[in-house]
Structure 1
C-alpha cells in the first residue's frame, strides 16, 4: 500500500513513509485516502481504534440516521447504493464506509494512538510518534514523512462540562456518546443536558421508550423542520442561496419554520438573533432539524427546563430555583477536537483544535500540513477538503517527478557532450 523503509532504534520502530501520513480513518481519512489512491499516490493511515469510523460504530445511539439527504453525505468517487433510503440509518452508513474502504483498498494501521506530531525543520520532515494500544507491552513507532494530513475530525472527544455537585449525584451519568437506547430507562426520570440535535434525539428516544425526559435548554437554538413541503430543508436552502443573499434565505427559512412548527419560544426554546445559516457560517453552530421531538415537547412528554445551578444526590437545582427529582443524566454537551493534545503546531490550528482560517481556506498549512474535515460543514465539507488535499499533494508529486526527469535529461546531455 505504501513505500517505506524501517529501522529499529532503541526499541522503537522508525518508519520512513514515501507519501503522506493520514491521522484518523473516519469519513475524512477515508475520503483523502480514496482520492490519493485514484492518483496512485502512496500513503499510510494511522487509527487509534480497531475499526474504521469508530465514532460512528462505538459512540452513536441506535436510532441515529443521517440528518441530511444522502446526496449531501456521500464521499468522493462512490455514491450511496440506490436502494438506500433518503436518510440512511447508522448501520447503513457504516456499511457504506466499510465498502468504501474495501473498494479503494484502504488498510489502516489500527490500534496506534498518536502521541505527538512535530515538524523537524532541520531535516524538513514530520515526525509522528505513536504508541500501540494493544498488548501488555505497548510498542512505540515513529513515522517520518514530508506531508501530514490531520483527519481526526471535529468530534474526536466528548465534552463533559464541570457542573457543581455532579459528582455527588448517585444515579447514572453518561455522555451522549455512550447512550445507545432508551429501553433501559423505561419509567425513569432522565435529565438530558443539551438541546442540539443529539439532545433532541436522545430526548425523543427516551420518550418513545416511556421514560420521563427533561431537557435542559440553557441558550438559544434554531429548530427547523427536516423537510419543507416534501423537500429537504437543507436542499431548499442550498437552492435558494444560488439566487438570494444569505440573510434573505434565513428570513424565508424562519417564516416557513414558524408556519410549520409554530412559535418555539412558547415551549421554552428561544431563537438566536442571527439566522440559522449565518449562525452556522460564522460560529459553526448547527441548527436542530426536528424529526418529532418538538411534538413531544408540545404534548408535555418531553419537559423543557432552564439551566442548572447544581446537582444533589438524587435531584438537580435549576436556575429558576426549581428542584427536579431525577434518576439518570445524559450529557448531550457536544464534542471537541483532540488536535491540541498531540499536534505541535500553531499556525494552521488554533487552541480549540480547529483551523484558524474559516472554510474554505482552512484546509492547508505550511510544511506539507493539511486539515481534512474541520469545515463545520458536515460530510459535504469532508468531501470538498479531501479532493483539494489530494489534488494539491498530486500536483506536488508531479512537480517532483518532473524535476527528477529534468535532472536525468540534463545528466544524459552532459554525458553525451563529454
Structure 2
C-alpha cells in the first residue's frame, strides 16, 4: 500500500482546506492539498480591498490560531490575508499548486483524484474549493448587444472608474450593497439598485453572527428561523415600501431552499442611502435592448454601467457531477462537515453551508472532519473556543 493512498487529499487551499489540514495534522496525519492557482487563498486575493467580514472576529478564527484583536471586530480583506499568510507559515502544509482536478472517481473501495499531474488514490478526500468559484449571470435577453459597460461584481475592485457615471447595481446581496454604497460615496452621478426579491437584511452585530451559527449548527427548526428572520427585519427597518423596498416575502431558510445560494444580507449603508435618496431602488431586470436596461413592469433605464451582483456558484459539477452528491439549484453538496453520503464514504465537504457566515463554520466542520477521518476524540465547544 503506497503512502499516497493513505494520505487524506484536500482539494482547495483556501481557508476551508487549510483549516482541515490543521486539524488533520493535529490528529497525526499528513494531508496533501491540491490547488489550481499559484497561491493559497487565491479567492481572497481577488476580492475588492474594501471588503469587510460579515462574521464577528471572535467567531471567525480558524483552528489553532486566533485572529488578532488589532484587526477589530470586523476585519477587512487585507487583515484576513495577513492572518492567512501567518497561518500557512505556521502550518507548513504540503500543497501542490497549479494542479487542476479533472474528476474524482470511486474505484475498488478507494477514491482516485484525477489531476493534471496524474492520478492520486486516497481513502479520504475533502472538497474545499469554496462557494464562490464561478460568477453567475442570468440569461438576460439582449445582454450581448448592450452598448453600455457591463461587468460581474467579481471583477469589481474600486469605485473610482464610476465617478460621474450613472451606475446600476443588480442584486441586493452583501457585495451589491458594498458596491452601490461605495459608488455613491465616490461620486457616481447616479446609483440605482435593481431588486427582484427583497432579501432579509440584518444589522452588523455580534448577535447576528451568533444567531447565524445557532441556526446552522443547532436544533432550531427552519420554520422558526424563517419567522424570526422576518420579524427581525421588520423590527430593525420598519416599513420601507415608500422607498421602493418591499418587505421580504420569505425567511432566510426558505430563500436558501428556493435559490440554492445565500438569501439575506448584512446592511452596511444601503437603508440610510435609500432613505436619503443617494441610492434609488428599481424593479428586477428582464433584459437589455442596446442602450436600455429593461425592467419588470415594462419600464426601462439607460445607465452607463451595469454591475451584476448576481452571485457565484461552487462550480463542482465538472469533477463531481457524476457522483450524485450535489444538490440543485446551486450545485452545493448534500452533506457537510463530518457527514458523508452512504454511496460516497470518505468524501467530505468543507465550506459550503448556508446561510452565510462561512468562516465560523469552517472551524466547526474542520474538527468534525478530523474526527471522522482520524477517529480522534470528540472535540467539545470548549475545545473549539480554546483553539481561537
Return the TM-score normalized by structure 2: 0.86
**Deviations 1:43-78, CA, capped at 9 Å, x for gaps:** 1100011111111111x2221000121122111121
SS in 2 for 1:355: coil
Note if 1:64 corresponds to 2:51. yes
Sort the Cα spacing of 1:127 and 1:247 in 2 relative to 1 into closer, same or farther, 3 A: closer
Matches within 5 A, 1:16-415: 16-58=4-46, 60-121=47-108, 124-131=109-116, 140-211=117-188, 212-227=190-205, 232-235=207-210, 254=230, 257-276=233-252, 279=255, 285-343=262-320, 345-350=322-327, 352-357=330-335, 362=339, 366-376=344-354, 377=356, 378-395=358-375
- Give the whole-Å Cα distance in 2 for the aligned partners of 1:342 and 1:238: 30
Sort the Cα spacing of 1:250 and 1:120 in 2 relative to 1 into closer, same or farther, 3 A: closer
Asked if the contact 2:337/2:369 (under 8 Å) is kept, the reply is: no
- Give the whole-Å Cα distance in 1 for the aligned partners of 2:103 and 2:225: 44
- Give the whole-Å Cα distance in 2 for the aligned partners of 1:46 and 1:390: 18
- Give the whole-Å Cα distance in 2 for the aligned partners of 1:52 and 1:26: 6
Structure 1 residue 361 displacement after superposition: 7.3
- Give the whole-Å Cα distance in 2 for the aligned partners of 1:360 and 1:45: 17
Asked if the contact 2:61/2:359 (under 8 Å) is kept, the reply is: yes
1:136 aligned partner: none
- Give the whole-Å Cα distance in 1 for the aligned partners of 2:256 and 2:363: 18
- Give the whole-Å Cα distance in 2 for the aligned partners of 1:360 and 1:395: 14
Structure 1 residue 355 displacement after superposition: 2.2
- Give the whole-Å Cα distance in 2 for the aligned partners of 1:19 and 1:245: 38
CA RMSD between the two structures: 2.9
**Deviations 1:345-387, CA, capped at 9 Å, x for gaps:** 4343335432225x67755653321111122252222222211
- Give the whole-Å Cα distance in 1 for the aligned partners of 2:163 and 2:20: 43
Structure 1 residue 280 displacement after superposition: 5.3
- Give the whole-Å Cα distance in 1 for the aligned partners of 2:15 and 2:165: 36
Structure 1 residue 182 displacement after superposition: 0.8
- Give the whole-Å Cα distance in 2 for the aligned partners of 1:74 and 1:298: 36
Gaps (5+ residues) in structure 2?
377-388
SS in 2 for 1:128: strand
Q: Say which structure, 1 or 2, has more relative contact order (CA 8 Å, 6+ apart).
A: 2
- Give the whole-Å Cα distance in 2 for the aligned partners of 1:226 and 1:189: 28
- Give the whole-Å Cα distance in 2 for the aligned partners of 1:257 and 1:243: 22
Structure whose CA Rg is larger: 1
Structure 1 residue 259 displacement after superposition: 4.7
Gaps (5+ residues) in structure 1?
6-15, 132-139, 397-418
SS in 1 for 2:95: coil
SS in 1 for 2:281: strand
Asked if the contact 2:327/2:333 (under 8 Å) is kept, the reply is: yes
Sort the Cα spacing of 1:256 and 1:21 in 2 relative to 1 into closer, same or farther, 3 A: closer
Matched residue count: 370
